[in-house]
Amino acid sequence: MELSVVQSIRLYDFLSARGENVILRWVKDDKLTVRGRAALNQKLDRLIQIPFQLAIDTKVLAGPIYKHIYKLVIHADIMLRPMLCRGPFDIEGEYTLLLGAVETGGKLPKGSKEKAGENREILLADPSRRCLHDRIPTHS
């Protein structure tokens, strides 16, 4: 049996109205530990290396949790749940990270799914509101 190699998928981060990377802001604001940052990088690396359906089947991704929104499932010191969408411009070839969240007691912060959905809608109206994802620095 031959294994098919998946072309690497591009990963983007949503930008706020001020042009700030919302994922880097979340990493700083939630004061993620070195372990948490490393776990986030590792999961994002995995996500862009495997087909979408495999990401769902192996529980790398969960969802859709709200409209076109999925969450990455990362078990670190805290339950990291960055929210993202496929595409939205190239559904097969890209993901866009829309919002960072931490799950507590099995629940996402109130309104976070809706906010991720709003960010996706903003991006559809203004494709300049994202940038290519850079690895999360593992130091503070």
Q: Residue 1 has what pLDDT?
A: 44
Q: Residue 75 has what pLDDT?
A: 87
Stretches in the chain below the pLDDT threshold 50: 1-3
5: helix, strand or coil? coil
pTM: 0.92
Q: Residue 7 has what pLDDT?
A: 61
Q: Residue 140 has what pLDDT?
A: 58
The alpha-helical segments, DSSP class H, found in 31-111 are 34-47, 52-57
- No. of helices (H) and no. of strands (E), the chain: 4, 9
Element of type H or E holding 114 = helix 112-125
**Cα–Cα distance, 113 to 119 (Å, whole number):** 10
pLDDT in tens, 44-70: 999 999 999 999 999 999 999 999 999
Torsions phi, psi for 95 (to 5 deg): -125, 150
Q: Residue 2 has what pLDDT?
A: 47
**Cα–Cα distance, 122 to 132 (Å, whole number):** 17
